[in-house]
Amino acid sequence: MVFPFNSVQDFQILIDEDVELFRKAVREVVENKVLPRWQEIEKTNTIPKEIFEEFAQQGFFGVGFPEEYGGQGGGQLLTAVLTEEVARAVPSLAVAIGVNHLFGIPILLFGTEEQKKKYITPIAQGKAFGAHANTEPCCGSDVAGIQSKARKVNDHYVITGRKIFISGAEKADYFIVSARTSPPTEKRWWGISVFVVERDTPGLKIGQRFNVVGMRGEQPYEVILDEVKVPAENLVGPENEGFKVIVTTYDYTRIGIAAQAVGIAQATFEAAVNYALQREAFGKRLIEFEMIIQKLADMYMKLEAARLLTYWAATLADQGRREFVIASSLAKAFATEAAEWIARQSVQIHGGVGVDEETGVVRYLRDSIITTIYEGTNEIQRLTIVRQLVRQVFGLKI
């Protein structure tokens, strides 16, 4: 046993040549169509629609979604590679892709065949966007604490509540929405249900945009649900068991957050190396100073460790291994903290240039901070890691 796993073979990362060919194809599109527009995105706080159209044409929105529902196929590993390459240029664009998966994964795992055909197909084809409305003013990582309510009335539900920090809400055609269908009991998780709510449903309103520290171009919004009437067939999974739907979704999607972080770390590491090779101080290039050498070495170690953890978690998920849950938390916590640290060191190596908005280095630092928070804060990831470890090895709940 390789505690808490059973064998060293559990740590295999299986990557075939098609994945690398796909990565190169994504890199080419991103460098030609996205990277040249990063300043425009930062200044306007909007991702140009032409970029979305290009991604739809390339089939990028369909990666990770089954072909029978209009997708390109591929699993978590291929999605992670796509996310990493996009985040290397514009992290907020990677968020836009990830939000679609936040919408789609609960339907793929728990939805009906009709729901999959109706909602996944346009998302995977890039003809529509989804969003995931779970976080509330009272609670984010505490999924069991949500207070929005849904009451059953004949053949439909009526939802009332307020959601905050909802990425992609401004352009979403469909929302995954969590709400209480039964009052809380000693089992706090019981009584939550999940629904698909279409944007044009009366009572659904997009509220304020939150001016968060980073992710310009894909900043989150408030979503208000005022007596929103939803057909009963829009219930995703069993009534009152929506907690499982939500947290299982995050088991998968936090791999995507780790991949975002790897892309950020890659970009800032490359920038630091290039600058250290070019910049001179005291008659020497920066890369000749021992302190800079140490920084770059540590940055590179953390970058590659983050990538390996992310690819490993994705591989386990694609194999259908339950152990992927602990691996995804390991990857998310480590990669996002590594990205924040690497971005910070890159800014420091750049000196005054590093904090100049026009050079683009500091934007990655802002974005990296957000990755440590959403999809469950890293404090929650540490809780998940230990709980899963004890459950996996000893069969105990803590």
Catalytically annotated residues: 375
User: Token pair for residue 325?
Assistant: 């849950």
Q: How far apart are CA 70 and CA 68, in angstroms?
A: 6
Name the residue among 55, 73, 230, 201 with its Cα closest to residue 127: 55
Cβ-based neighbours of 113, under 8 Å, separated by 6 or more:
none
Q: How far apart are CA 34 and CA 26, in angstroms?
A: 11
Please tell me whether the peptide bond between 4 and the residue prior to it is cis, using omega within 30 degrees of 0. Answer: yes
How does 200-215 read in b/e, with b if 16+ C-beta sit within 10 Å? Answer: ebeebebeeeeebebb
- Helix and strand counts by DSSP (H, E) for the chain: 12, 10
Q: How far apart are CA 43 and CA 356, in angstroms?
A: 14
Q: How far apart are CA 130 and CA 315, in angstroms?
A: 25
Cβ-based neighbours of 49, under 8 Å, separated by 6 or more:
none
CB neighbourhood size of 185 (10 A): 9
Q: How far apart are CA 53 and CA 155, in angstroms?
A: 38
DSSP character for 226? E
Burial of 298 per CB tally in 10 Å (0-12, 13-18, 19+): middle
159 with 177: CB under 8 angstroms?
A: yes
Distances (CA, A) of 95 to 98, 263, 363: 5, 12, 15
Classify 321 in phi/psi space as left (phi over 0), alpha (psi -120 to 50) or beta. beta
